[in-house]
Amino acid sequence: MYHWLEVALSRYPTPGPVPIEATGSTPILAAKWLAAGALGAVLLAVCHAGRHGLSALQLLQVACIPLGAYLLLTTTVHPWYVTVIVPILPFLLGRPGGFVTSRRYVWPWLYFSAAVSLSYLTYLDPASLREYPAVRFLEYVPFCLLLTWAAWPTISGAGRCAQA
């Protein structure tokens, strides 16, 4: 996700990192500051939510939020980075019969944990390491669509009383 932010701010279409020589440092720094600011906002929101006497299960569920935000906003995502969030995913399922909309978030992260391994296609030709736009598309677009689907009950207000 950071890559697309950097490309949007620099207006320099590239499958890999935006070269500082071509665009200057301003758009790259702006992308880094925006990503850091978004991550900071997520951390503040999670800290605020944590003050309201959450149960141990709820704390584990909330822990996925900053970890997920970091994975979405970091400049580099190696496949093993996703292993940090995968062990927490079962806790998103909540208690049987509970009113938990968080269980929908398991599916995007399971998809991403499998799809992120496509990034190893970068190393197909060791003489010419490059990122493939189709790989990034396959990794992130379905993931973002699944995240939107998972968040939809919360965004639309329908998830407050509905059982997931």
Distance CA 154, CA 162 (A): 10
| Cα–chain center distance at 131 | 19
Distance in Å from the first CA to the final CA of the chain: 28
Distance CA 153, CA 141 (A): 20
- Look at residue 99 in the predicted model and tell me its pLDDT: 47
Contact between residue 50 and residue 33 where contact means Cβ atoms under 8 Å apart = no
Q: Name the residue among 74, 65, 76 with its Cα closest to residue 42.
A: 65
- Look at residue 156 in the predicted model and tell me its pLDDT: 78
What is the reported pTM?
Answer: 0.70
User: Is residue 139 over pLDDT 70?
Assistant: yes
What range defines the domain where residue 44 resides? 2-160
pLDDT tens column, 9-25: 778 777 667 777 777 77
pLDDT tens column, 85-134: 888 888 888 665 554 567 888 999 999 999 999 989 988 888 887 788 88
pLDDT tier, 138 (very low <50, low <70, confident <90, very high otherwise): very high
- Look at residue 164 in the predicted model and tell me its pLDDT: 43
Query: 3-state class of 16 per DSSP?
Result: coil
10 Å Cβ neighbour count for 44?
Answer: 10
Phi-psi region of 54 (alpha: psi -120 to 50; beta: other; left: phi over 0): beta
Domain total in the chain: 1
- Look at residue 95 in the predicted model and tell me its pLDDT: 64
pLDDT tens column, 50-85: 677 777 777 777 778 888 888 888 877 888 888 888
Which residues make Cβ contacts (< 8 Å) with residue 91, sequence separation at least 6? 57, 60, 61
- Look at residue 42 in the predicted model and tell me its pLDDT: 78
